[in-house]
Amino acid sequence: LAGVNGGFSYSNNPWSIYHGDLRGFFVQDGQLISEPNDSAWAVQIKSTPNHRQVLSLVQPKLRVTFQIEGASDISCSGLNRERKDDDCIVYTPIWNRTTLADTSGVEVVVSAGEIKAVREGLPSAIIPPDGFVVSAKGAQAERLRKMHVGTSVAVAFDLMNIADGKHLPFKDHHYVSAGPLLVRGGKPVSEYEGHHWFHKSPFTHQRHPRTAIAW
């Protein structure tokens, strides 16, 4: 067994409640924890019946959809991250005890596939262990205001590989964000593809201890 820190996190402000939040795609034992960041790369790890770990490089893109019984779906803009202006974010129990959102939005609390509460102007909602919370602000909040307690709802996740347009599986898989991509097909790449923050300070001006993965 070997262990190493992987992926990235938001850590610019140690006093922020979001300090340490995962930045980039992360799936553990088939459980989706953090959304992809832009078109960044990720390492896909698949467990096979003979316990071998098969690695591949992907560019994941996640589509999050809030499905309401008898109504059209709502496309959400993110998963388990800070809610910003005109955002619609789905929060699952892995995120935190609550959504950590401020009182300026609308939150729909879902437990056992049913809306239990529609909250507005209230402190961040507690995330049910058997459900999720959809939290929206700005224009994205209008449809949530019209939701009713007792309505059957669900959330769907569709994962695609930007590199080839194919769908990516969750079951028996792990994913961890990575980058920048340095070598492909035995040849150095010319740019830090999809990782815009690698073009900025402090990455461009300071040394950083890093781990490389290759096969």
Determine the residue type at 161. Answer: N
SS3 assignment, position 187: strand
Determine the residue type at 195. Answer: H
Determine the residue type at 215. Answer: W
Least confident range of 61-75, 100-114, 119-133, 170-184: 170-184
pLDDT one-digit tens code per residue, 186-213? 888 766 554 556 677 777 788 878 888 8
The whole-angstrom separation of Cα 75 and Cα 126 is 22
**Quick one: pLDDT at residue 192?**
54
Residue 56 has pLDDT above 70, yes or no: yes
pLDDT one-digit tens code per residue, 131-153? 999 999 998 899 999 999 999 99
pTM over 0.85: yes
Number of Cβ within 10 Å of residue 105's Cβ equals: 24
The whole-angstrom separation of Cα 188 and Cα 175 is 23
Token code pair at residue 38? 């832009």
Residue 46 has pLDDT above 80, yes or no: yes
DSSP 152: B
Q: For the residues 43-56, what does the mean pLDDT come to?
A: 78
